[in-house]
Amino acid sequence: MEYKIADLTKEEAVYIGEKINEIVPREVDADEEEFVLKVENENGEIIGGCIAEAFEFHWSRILLETLWVDERYRHKGIGSMILREVERIAKEKGCRVVTLGTASFMARPFYEKHGYTVFTTLKKANGYISYSLVKYLDRDAPEYVPTDNSGARFRISYGNDDDAKVIENGIDTYSEDYEPEYESVGFYKKLADKDGKLIAGVVADVHKGDYGFVDALFTEAAFRRRGLGTALLREVEKFAKENGTSMILTYAGDWNVGFFAKNGYLLRGELKDVPKGRVCYELFKEL
């Protein structure tokens, strides 16, 4: 049967996400939950905060997406206070693991002081190194008390969407000095049968001049093992190359890493016991 390549509709992109969620091993029944923490000074001004997400893929993990402290208030224990609160909330929710990403110009030593270890390293085209770090909360790690802990007097509380914008803006302004804002283009495509029905689909993002990321790749069960996933992956790689990007990144688990290995993807790190008893891999391919 011949298939033609076409754009994914929004509904089809959602459908693919749902199908992948069915395949990925579940550890807990909880749905994804994003939360924001903020620290305010005496005038109610936000001077630090974080955005975190719990239970992605129904795993008992908290992903710390953003952590930022206003430049005027750094090295006073505020970042540590936020991190400890994230860990407290994680434990309260029954999560075992906190993961996060940082870069060589950011804060790896800060996290290591708090008992985080690097599980992925990636040298980027611009010379910076990206790290993924993890802390298993069920393993004993002494609580780190910063030398200057004077910021602990400020109030920490849950924030809303507007507070999240302040925090995102803080980290963006900080990062601008080190890295350009890469233009991002989506690659949302499907292989369709003659009636236009989705047989296989892919959701990917290409950061021009930086890297491409495959978010989701899915082939309907009846059509697997016919090279359709490989064909779509090739399309992503072609698109990435055309957009000046020389590396593709993705995540896989022990349940599907073989597919990516056959397509030339190499291991850049592994997160053990996430989900429980399984392994999550971070992969890359140079184009």
User: Binder to ligand COA among 26, 58, 74, 226 (CB under 6 A)?
Assistant: 74
**Judged by CB under 6 A, which stretch of 16-24, 67-75, 196-204, 210-218 contacts ligand COA?**
67-75
Minimum distance, C-beta of residue 81 to ligand COA, in the bound complex (Å):
7
**Judged by CB under 6 A, which stretch of 62-70, 134-142, 190-198, 266-274 contacts ligand COA?**
62-70
End-to-end CA, the chain: 30
**x/- track of binding to ligand COA for residues 166-195 (CB under 6 A):** -----x--x---------------------
Minimum distance, C-beta of residue 109 to ligand COA, in the bound complex (Å):
4
Identify which of residues 241 and 268 has a Cβ nearer to ligand COA in the complex: 268
Identify which of residues 106 and 192 has a Cβ nearer to ligand COA in the complex: 106
User: Binder to ligand COA among 51, 107, 233, 240 (CB under 6 A)?
Assistant: 107
Helix residue ranges per DSSP H, the chain? 10-23, 78-92, 108-113, 161-176, 228-242, 257-262
Cα distance between residue 48 and residue 40, in whole Å = 7
Closest CA to 49 of 170, 175, 193, 223: 170
Q: Please report whether residue 147 would count as binding ligand COA according to CB under 6 A.
A: yes
Structural tokens at position 117: 């270890």
User: Binder to ligand COA among 49, 77, 115, 159 (CB under 6 A)?
Assistant: 77
Complete DSSP assignment for 205-251: EEETTS-EEEEEEEE-GGG-SSSHHHHHHHHHHHHHHHTT--EEEEE
Strands 4-7 and 129-136 come out as unpaired
**Judged by CB under 6 A, which stretch of 9-17, 78-86, 135-143, 177-185 contacts ligand COA?**
78-86
**DSSP letter, residue 56:** G
Q: Please report whether residue 84 would count as binding ligand COA according to CB under 6 A.
A: no
User: Binder to ligand COA among 55, 59, 68, 116 (CB under 6 A)?
Assistant: 68
Element (H, E) at 280: strand 279-286
Decide if 275 contacts 59 (C-beta within 8 A).
yes
Minimum distance, C-beta of residue 132 to ligand COA, in the bound complex (Å):
11
Residues 268-287 that bind ligand COA (CB under 6 A): none
Is residue 236 packed enough to be buried (19+ CB in 10 Å), middle (13-18) or exposed (0-12)?
Answer: buried
Q: Please report whether residue 76 would count as binding ligand COA according to CB under 6 A.
A: yes
Distances (CA, A) of 156 to 33, 115, 170, 267, 287: 19, 22, 17, 39, 45
Q: Please report whether residue 75 would count as binding ligand COA according to CB under 6 A.
A: yes
B/e letters for 21-38, b = 16+ CB within 10 Å, e = fewer, are eeebeebbeeeeeebbbb
Q: Please report whether residue 44 would count as binding ligand COA according to CB under 6 A.
A: no
Q: Which residue's Cβ lies closest to ligand COA?
A: 79
Minimum distance, C-beta of residue 185 to ligand COA, in the bound complex (Å):
25
Maximum CA pair distance of the chain? 68
Instruction: Note the residues at the interface with ligand COA (CB under 6 A).
Output: 67-69, 74-80, 102, 106-107, 109-110, 113, 146-147, 171, 174
